[in-house]
Amino acid sequence: MLKTIAVSNEKGGVAKTTTTLSLGAALVELGNRVLLIDLDAQANLTLALGFEPGENENTSSSVMLDNVALLDARKKTDVEKLDLIPSSSRIEISEQFLPVRTGYTTILQKAIQTGNLPYDYIILDCPPALGAITKNALAASDLLLIPTQAEYFSAYALRNMMSLIRNIREQDNPNLAYRILVTMLDRRNRTHRNIHEQLRSTFGEGVFNTVIEMDTKLRESPIAGLPITHYKPGARGSTQYRVLAQELMEYAKETEDRQAA
């Protein structure tokens, strides 16, 4: 069964793009076919996989605005079984033009449902905003993955996210689940440890057991145009994203078993 995961947080710089790419590549290593969709006008994911945002005929904005089929916008990457739908700055106009259309929040949901997609996982890299694009991503997803730093303002920003989740569940996607992922953790930092503890006691099962620690190799891999797992397979970041991929697959299996029962 195809699983769609939205990676979202209204804050920038919390490792949304890094998580989309690294988790996607780790899922491929575990035998999955993965499609990444870049939904951010900054196109960092597109760049990190070695594509020029301006040079692609079809992009995520063609899917959102012009009804282009997902498979007609997909690109093969240098990593086998890892495909990408690139972004460009044009996706930004969706935020303005989509809300005037009726049913605009389910465009992506419908594109995925009717897309006949040969993938095990689709991962959506969202922009740092909770607007039309992010609503589409959440309406289309089985799971919302929220990367967050163990910083006060990051934890605080989760409030808006929680109210958006309630909204989406009421309107377009009653089964939307979420998991918080603590990223860029520095275990020597007492505040980080405290906030991580607080997140776990507040959200319980809603926080992944896996945490992603600081690793400068994660900053270098986009320059190489490769996911960390391929750029530095032995790096701490590679190991931790592999563990995350395993935790996610177990979670997906449990959910399937529960739905089948």
180, β-bridge pairs: 146, 207
Q: Which of 12, 99, 118, 233 binds ligand ADP (CB under 6 A)?
A: 12
CB of 183 to ligand ADP, least distance (A): 6
In angstroms, rounded to a whole number, what is the distance separating the alpha carbons of residues 176 and 163? 13
Interacting residues toward Mg ion by CB under 5 A: 16-17, 44
- Tokens at 61, concatenated: 């904005």
End-to-end CA distance of the chain: 15
* Choice between 3 and 11, CB closer to ligand ADP: 11
CB of 186 to ligand ADP, least distance (A): 9
* Choice between 45 and 108, CB closer to ligand ADP: 45
Give helix 152-171 / helix 132-139 axis angle, nearest 10°: 60
* Choice between 89 and 106, CB closer to ligand ADP: 89
Give helix 16-29 / helix 217-224 axis angle, nearest 10°: 80
- Is 40 within 8 Å of 12 (Cβ atoms)? no
- Is 35 within 8 Å of 250 (Cβ atoms)? no
User: Is residue 18 close enough to count as binding ligand ADP by CB under 6 A?
Assistant: yes
Q: Is 88 helix (H, G, I), strand (E, B) or coil?
A: coil
- Please report, as residue ranges, which positions from 125 to 154 form the binding site for ligand ADP (by CB under 6 A): 128
With CB under 6 A as the contact rule, which of the stretches 134-142, 172-180, 208-216, 245-253 interacts with ligand ADP? 208-216
User: Is residue 41 close enough to count as binding ligand ADP by CB under 6 A?
Assistant: no
**Residues near ligand ADP, by CB under 6 A:** 12-18, 44, 128, 183-184, 212, 214-216, 218-219, 237
